[in-house]
Structure 1
Amino acid sequence: MFSISDSAAKRLLQAALAATGLFVALAGMANVLPSFGNLPRIGPFAIEWFRPLFFFASIVAVILAHLLARQRQGHGRWYVSLGYAALVVLTGWVCYDYYVLGRIMADSIVFFSWRDAAVATLAAAIGIWTCFIVWGAPIAILGLIAFLYLATGQYWPGFLQTVPTSIPELVAQNIWFDADQGILGSILGIVLSTVLPFIILGAILEGCGAGDSMIRISFSLMRKFRGGPAYAAIAASALFGTVSGSAVANVVGTGVVTIPMIRRRGFAPNFAGAVEATASTGGQILPPIMGAAALVMADYVGVSYLTVIIAVLIPAIAYYASLALAVYFEANRLGVEASEDDEAMSVERQDWLNLVLVFAPIGLIVWLLVSGLSPAGASIAAIFLLIPLSFINPEIRRKPVRLVGALARGGTTVAQLVTAIAVVGIVVSTLSATGMPTKFAVLLSSAGETSLLAALAISAAGCIVLGMGMPTLPAYIAIVAIMGPTLQRFGLEPLTSHMFVFFFGVASVITPPVAIAAYAAAAVSGGKPIATAVASSRLGAMIFIIPFAFVYNPILLLVDAAGANVTPVALVLAIGRLVLALYLCTSGLGGFDRTRLGVFERAARLAATVLLLSPVTSWQAAGAAIGLVALAWHLLRAAQPPTPENRSTMKQPEVS
């Protein structure tokens, strides 16, 4: 009778999850709500009670979502529910202990005991376990290793050994009871003050029906092009991704529509999945909203969010241009033709009206950011604009409760993110307490032998490895804590080094072997997961190349904070080299332009790409010369009429 597998228990879990998610969303928004006229502000709330309460609500939401998923799969067991009920009670106890000790610490100095260390250990275990059930093993294992190293580092050998200190003091303060460190520390504070309202805005945008209209319009506009559905997927996923900030959520949300249509146009399953995965991934670097990590970057670096938006503008456009080029070359290679009777959904007047639901909030955010309002204030204003505007959609007028459901889903998404942030808080606190980033920087400096290129290559590899299996925001925070100081030792501006890490943190979701966005796309396309990940890495190759380009050519970031010395002539030349490099690299990796490219032609194009993006003027000139000669040679060869010997090489089918 205690089973949660019956329909009544399912409805109860759904209602409890919706209520908890709604509480998380509304409480989080109230915390950052700006003042209106002479009315007093509601927040920000006191740290000592709000953060533990928010953490408790997030853990409850995650547990309810997990139990509901198990029940739907037929795995509901009363003893599992009982175990999670005990976990909720323990979470409430450690959060209450934080509140009590926080009030004492506000008035007097506290010396932590073994009891406090035990409470902190329990809090860490709760955070790591709930992170595991939401995000999987990689990030949870990373958090477990970090905690064990913090507690036992003084007994490790060699350079890994830390300074001997009081273990209770070390664990209690760095893991749980410090408002600046650990699970409830400054990183969670940034999420609450900056990231949360953007996640809620994305959830409401998705719930008000604007996403479906964007997809229909994109497919309708692109239906006359050879790679129509693929171009439409890029456009729709770019717009959807810049709001959602989650590559996997983007793949699942838009890929179920776009991927089958790409396949029906004649593209292979692996390629179809790769298009959606790479387009969804790029949404996190596309202004004006971008992903949550960009908001955190602005706080970390100490620049305005508008500065981050301007800095990433050229790299983001270049990335999406490379995706469009990759589709163009693949369509030419396969001989895909445009189809007027394609499954492009009929676009109605309401779809065009629904676009207001996308562009009005985004336009308001940009205007408010330019006017000097904080990102949180701009996003809250956009939410207040979007809610009444959503009644443009007749589906919302018929069922306004959809907005409440969207708020609840947004709160659940925030709760899931909080579990990852809890683990990242453990990792970052461990790095700070043990001084590991400084040690790593010294080792990397020695390995790089004062070579910035070697340091960048090692850092890029480290970013991809550390980012595997992690959502972008916690991946970025964990990576920049290690790699950021290292790169700045080589003279990079903080914004440039953070942007470099940010790009590779984003890229990790399409990089084998743990390419979670590519795997999600493969599940929809029916392709092979690893093959889809490899295809995604090839299609999205510019996301790995562009960071090196703006490190050596900071003018591509446009802002003074990146060390850019922007002049009109230098900017035009830099963009021109980047455009040529995009064309050469994308065609070289794809192996096709007007006709099939030979091995020598591909090597020449890729070599020219490297030279074009180098910091040395003579190398740039050499790269331009090689690239232009390669293009001219190819055009001349393609202009010749096909012969029986070369006709078979004009178009090669893809092996899926």
Structure 2
Amino acid sequence: MSSLSVVSNRILYWLMAILSLAVTLYGLANVMPAIGDFRIGPFEMVFFRATFFALCALVVMLGIFRKSDGSLAHRVVSAMAAIFTLGMLWSAWSFYQISSKLDEAMFLFGAREMWIALIASAGALFFCWRIWGVPVALLGLFGIAYMATGHHWPGMLQTINTGVTETLAQNLLYSLDSGILGSTFSIVITTVFPFIILGAVLEGVGAGDSMIRIAFSWMRRTAGGPAHAAVLSSGLFGTVSGSAVGNVVGTGVVTIPMIKRRGFTPNFAGAVEAAASTGGQIMPPIMGAAALVMADFVGVSYLTVIIAVLVPAIAYYASLFAMIVFESRRLGIRTGDEGDNGVERPTRQDYLNLLLIFVPLGLIVVLLITGLSPSGASISALALLFPLSFINPAVREKPIKLVQSLCAGGRTFSQLLMAIAAVSIVISALSVTGVPLKFGILLSSLVTDSLMLSLVIAAFCCVVLGMGMPTLPAYVTVATIAIPAMQQLGLEPLTAHMFVFFIAVASAITPPVAIAAFAAASISGGGPIGTSVQASKVGVMIFAIPFTFAFNPLLLTVEQAGAEFVLLSWLWLLAKLLVGILLVATALTGFDKRVLKIPEILVRLVAAGFLFAPGMFMDQIGVALAVAAVLWHRRADCKMYCMKVTG
């Protein structure tokens, strides 16, 4: 690399760092609560949305510039990024000029405003393509096309022609309720943004390595060894990052080689890490961005969401532990001390570093219980974390790490905002064309009383839309389309949204486009498709649990889920869930005390299905089949033992 290239790359680095830090500070100032009589934000709404969008576009553009290797293709992409950024800056200025006047007088949108809105949309979709891949961009492109041509479509898909020019201009850009800078933008800024910054700082203060060392130490004498450590560390790390791929990259580089060394296949090693990392998005208290948006959509407190998701999240991680146990038995891996696994034993400092995670997270829970908003709780935790981070000698030695983590948070959110822009286009298209209502009517005409079929259709849509996409866009899109129909069939809003949220999270390990599994495969050396298939098998309960609480809302614990809390019924439900998890784990690994025959596997899967279904009659069948499966297995074991003794 020439000296000129080095200098230009360094300049780009500092420009990007400064702008990323500006995004972070500007966004935090907008949601910062008042301190006595002192208040920085919130800023005037139209001005803030326009300027924040412009800052994020600049950050993303610089990120594309930095990735350029000087080849012709990269130079073309960089030139397009610069052109689209200029268009987006112009669009932001136009949005501020026009939207600030909409409250004062009616404004007639013309061709000029339509083309400005299309330029802003094209820029956002271009950046989505470069950051998140083709699926997100295509989804937004389809939304624009349907919005413009819907009045030409046949049958139920046909929309009312209200004028393409005004429809595109208002619903893509100039409305404060819909479009790129609409209500979804507002929700993400006020609720999700502070948590993303908190997660970036939690990662930056250096407790992640300590978590991995402690997890390996605690699990070194289990048969699964590093596989169990991967589940534990990824669960803890996931409460911080809220990103499946980020979790895989953050912990998998250490855990996956250790899992392979223990005797597991590369595909299984990657699958365990991918499944465990994906579960981080459902692990309280931070979870993923979609959970924060869900609380706002449903109209419940974020604390209610945390309580509701707690049992399903723990059950999911218990299922991962069970899958590893029976896979270890199948492969003949014995319990042993993993002292030579290449991971250093935890020190006193490692345990002290855990305070950097659990104290801020504990503060968030306490503040949510006392009634503070999620953004207020996250900002308070962030304020505590800065002085607390000096517990770590690495932070004391280089305090600049804190500033770097703020920059990383701003950069991460700028990239996420481009995906939010794309999904906002889709939401606007669905809203203006009435697709959710039509989908609900169509679904009701197909299945009058079948909640199961409705859930299967919603799950399928969520998996398809989630292929290669972040969880938040997948969740918001499917929620907009499918949830009204699900509610018509009797599901409470919280239960319906939680169902879609879980399946959207699960799309990260669902083939053929399983981004978390693909990331894990790149580390393990396994096949991407093979790893994603294994990850779907290892993490199968993330698909089964949503159907369970859809039919048994008591599992979500809170009244808003649609079931009155009765302790004995709740405990019985947990017992059924635990037995079902063990039955599924043994059936899918094909091993319990010995290899299971196909009839035994089928009986266990059917028994688990009955246990997950609602109703006392179903419970009785499930329990009877479970007991029969266990006795069948034990009888065969006893028979083999007697033959050995007498032989």
Q: TM-score, normalised by structure 1?
A: 0.95
CA distance in 1, matches of 2:304, 2:90: 42
- Confirm or deny: 8 A CA contact 1:5 1:74 kept in the other structure: no
Aligned-partner residue type, residue 51 of structure 1 = R
Of the three residues 112, 115, 129, the one matched with 2:112 is: 115
Aligned-partner residue type, residue 97 of structure 2 = V
Name the residue aligned to 1:570: 569
Aligned-partner residue type, residue 41 of structure 1 = R
Unmatched tracts of structure 2, length 5 or more: none
Name the residue aligned to 1:64: 62
1:603-618 → structure 2 map (5 Å cutoff): 603-618=602-617
1:331-346 → structure 2 map (5 Å cutoff): 331-337=328-334, 338-343=336-341, 344-346=343-345
- Confirm or deny: 8 A CA contact 2:234 2:273 kept in the other structure: yes
> Per-residue deviation at 1:61?
1.0
> Per-residue deviation at 1:79?
5.8
Say if 2:285 is the partner of 1:288.
yes
Name the residue aligned to 1:528: 527
3-state SS of paired residue (2:186):
helix
Name the residue aligned to 1:137: 134
> Per-residue deviation at 1:425?
0.3
> Per-residue deviation at 1:86?
2.8
- Confirm or deny: 8 A CA contact 1:4 1:10 kept in the other structure: no
Aligned-partner residue type, residue 365 of structure 2 = V
Name the residue aligned to 1:515: 514
CA distance in 2, matches of 1:265, 1:106: 65
> Per-residue deviation at 1:88?
2.4
> Per-residue deviation at 1:52?
1.3
- Confirm or deny: 8 A CA contact 1:67 1:76 kept in the other structure: no
Q: Aligned in 2, Cα 1:79/1:631: closer, same or farther, shift over 3 Å?
A: closer
1:220-239 → structure 2 map (5 Å cutoff): 220-239=217-236
Q: Aligned in 2, Cα 1:224/1:503: closer, same or farther, shift over 3 Å?
A: same
Say if 2:183 is the partner of 1:186.
yes
1:543-582 → structure 2 map (5 Å cutoff): 543-582=542-581
Which range moves more in the overlay, 409-418 or 99-108? 99-108
Aligned-partner residue type, residue 47 of structure 2 = W
1:586-642 per-position Cα deviation (integer Å, ceiling 9, x unaligned): 111111111111101100000001111111211111101111221122134335556
1:67-106 per-position Cα deviation (integer Å, ceiling 9, x unaligned): 21223x8678666544433332222111101111122223
CA distance in 1, matches of 2:198, 2:327: 36
Name the residue aligned to 1:258: 255
3-state SS of paired residue (1:107):
coil
> Per-residue deviation at 1:347?
1.2
> Per-residue deviation at 1:341?
2.8
CA distance in 2, matches of 1:58, 1:532: 34
Say if 2:16 is the partner of 1:17.
yes
- Confirm or deny: 8 A CA contact 2:9 2:66 kept in the other structure: yes
CA distance in 1, matches of 2:458, 2:4: 48
CA distance in 1, matches of 2:643, 2:50: 74
CA distance in 2, matches of 1:84, 1:372: 43
1:158-307 → structure 2 map (5 Å cutoff): 158-307=155-304
- Confirm or deny: 8 A CA contact 2:81 2:127 kept in the other structure: no
Name the residue aligned to 1:86: 83
Say if 2:461 is the partner of 1:462.
yes
Aligned-partner residue type, residue 34 of structure 2 = S
Q: Aligned in 2, Cα 1:643/1:299: closer, same or farther, shift over 3 Å?
A: same
- Confirm or deny: 8 A CA contact 1:215 1:232 kept in the other structure: yes
Name the residue aligned to 2:586: 587
Name the residue aligned to 1:39: 37
Aligned-partner residue type, residue 545 of structure 2 = I
CA distance in 2, matches of 1:4, 1:103: 47
Aligned-partner residue type, residue 27 of structure 1 = Y
Say if 2:406 is the partner of 1:407.
yes
CA distance in 2, matches of 1:77, 1:139: 21
Name the residue aligned to 1:97: 94
Say if 2:494 is the partner of 1:490.
no
- Confirm or deny: 8 A CA contact 1:428 1:478 kept in the other structure: yes
> Per-residue deviation at 1:455?
1.1
> Per-residue deviation at 1:554?
0.7
Name the residue aligned to 2:536: 537
1:311-460 → structure 2 map (5 Å cutoff): 311-337=308-334, 338-343=336-341, 344-460=343-459
CA distance in 2, matches of 1:82, 1:557: 50
- Confirm or deny: 8 A CA contact 1:31 1:44 kept in the other structure: yes
- Confirm or deny: 8 A CA contact 1:243 1:291 kept in the other structure: no
Aligned-partner residue type, residue 538 of structure 2 = L
Aligned-partner residue type, residue 52 of structure 1 = A
Q: TM-score, normalised by structure 2?
A: 0.97
Aligned-partner residue type, residue 409 of structure 1 = A
- Confirm or deny: 8 A CA contact 2:580 2:612 kept in the other structure: yes
Say if 2:630 is the partner of 1:631.
yes
Name the residue aligned to 1:649: none
> Per-residue deviation at 1:19?
1.0
CA distance in 1, matches of 2:614, 2:248: 36
CA distance in 1, matches of 2:338, 2:421: 51
Aligned-partner residue type, residue 152 of structure 2 = Y
- Confirm or deny: 8 A CA contact 1:510 1:518 kept in the other structure: yes
> Per-residue deviation at 1:441?
1.2
Unmatched tracts of structure 1, length 5 or more: 646-656
- Confirm or deny: 8 A CA contact 1:216 1:347 kept in the other structure: yes
3-state SS of paired residue (1:376):
helix
Q: Aligned in 2, Cα 1:473/1:528: closer, same or farther, shift over 3 Å?
A: same
CA distance in 2, matches of 1:5, 1:311: 55
Aligned-partner residue type, residue 499 of structure 2 = F
Name the residue aligned to 2:6: 7
1:226-283 per-position Cα deviation (integer Å, ceiling 9, x unaligned): 1110111101101111221110111011111110111111110000000000000011
Q: Aligned in 2, Cα 1:511/1:152: closer, same or farther, shift over 3 Å?
A: same
Q: Aligned in 2, Cα 1:242/1:39: closer, same or farther, shift over 3 Å?
A: same
CA distance in 1, matches of 2:154, 2:145: 14
3-state SS of paired residue (2:489):
coil
Q: Aligned in 2, Cα 1:464/1:643: closer, same or farther, shift over 3 Å?
A: farther
CA distance in 1, matches of 2:368, 2:74: 50
Q: Aligned in 2, Cα 1:494/1:53: closer, same or farther, shift over 3 Å?
A: same
- Confirm or deny: 8 A CA contact 1:194 1:376 kept in the other structure: yes
> Per-residue deviation at 1:568?
1.4
> Per-residue deviation at 1:314?
1.0
Name the residue aligned to 1:504: 503
CA distance in 2, matches of 1:193, 1:8: 37
CA distance in 2, matches of 1:52, 1:587: 55
Percent of matched pairs sharing the same residue: 52
3-state SS of paired residue (2:68):
helix
CA distance in 2, matches of 1:33, 1:638: 64
Aligned-partner residue type, residue 547 of structure 1 = P
Q: Aligned in 2, Cα 1:75/1:639: closer, same or farther, shift over 3 Å?
A: farther
1:474-512 per-position Cα deviation (integer Å, ceiling 9, x unaligned): 111111001111101101100010011011000111001
> Per-residue deviation at 1:113?
1.0
Aligned-partner residue type, residue 445 of structure 2 = S
Which range moves more in the overlay, 85-94 or 535-544? 85-94
Which range moves more in the overlay, 604-613 or 436-445? 436-445
RMSD: 1.7
Name the residue aligned to 1:653: none
CA distance in 2, matches of 1:373, 1:100: 35
